[in-house]
Amino acid sequence: MKTRRVAQYGLLIALALVLSYVESLVPAFFAVPGVKLGLTNLVVMVALYRMGDRDAIIINLLRILLVSMTFGNAFSLMYAAAGGLLSGAVMILLKRTGKFKMLTVSIAGGIAHNVGQILIAMVLLGTWRVSYYLLILWWSGLAAGFAIGILSAQVVRRLPESLFNGGQR
């Protein structure tokens, strides 16, 4: 039981590391440097739908630490924390209502991730004008959330049952 949980966490953290690296390859895409796409929302989705709420919260905190430490600058922790906490909260709460599909949860999470980042950027940079970039970030969050929603449904379906059959039943 304990070993399986360690293996589950290890797998998701390894996946978050890969996604975090992929995301670091496209930083200049955004007008606000340091802002990330939020691809690691994928591991939170998988944890949420395969393990449970409590595990999703722990995985969320772990991926925030990971994203902020691995491929970033001094502001990364703040961005990662704001984006990760908001998107994690939105995804977990929406899932809990039981009224939304996985894809919808993921899209809302993708947008929440970027809204969180732009809010903290406004505070850190001391200017509300950064909010103009909310436009770009809103649509890219929606697109990223859509892609992650489809991907995480695939991952959840294909992960070996023996590794993830504790949480959902």
Partner 1 sequence: MRDHKTPLKKRYDLLLLAALVLVGLGLTAFVLLSRMNSASDGLTVTIRQDNEVVATLPLDEDATYAVQGEDGGTTNLVVIEDGTVHMEEADCPDQLCVKQGKISYAGDSLICLPNRVVVEISGEDEQALDAVAK
Residues that bind partner 1 (CB under 8 A): 27-28, 31-34, 49, 73-75, 94, 99-104, 107-108, 111, 125-130, 132, 134-135, 138-139, 142, 153, 156-157, 168
Residues 6+ apart with CB under 8 A from 49: 95, 102, 152, 156, 168
Closest to partner 1 by CB, 61 or 136: 136
Question: Between residues 2 and 129, which has the closer beta carbon with respect to partner 1?
Answer: 129
N- to C-terminal Cα separation, the chain: 15
Alpha-carbon span 134 to 95, nearest angstrom: 25
User: At closest approach, how far in Å is the CB of 125 from partner 1?
Assistant: 5
The smaller minimum CB distance to partner 1, of residues 88 and 141, is found at: 141
Which residue's CB is nearer to partner 1, number 2 or number 99? 99
Tell me the closest approach of the beta carbon of residue 8 to partner 1, in angstroms. 18
Torsions phi, psi for 10 (to 5 deg): -60, -45
Q: Which helix (H) or strand (E) holds 96?
A: helix 76-97
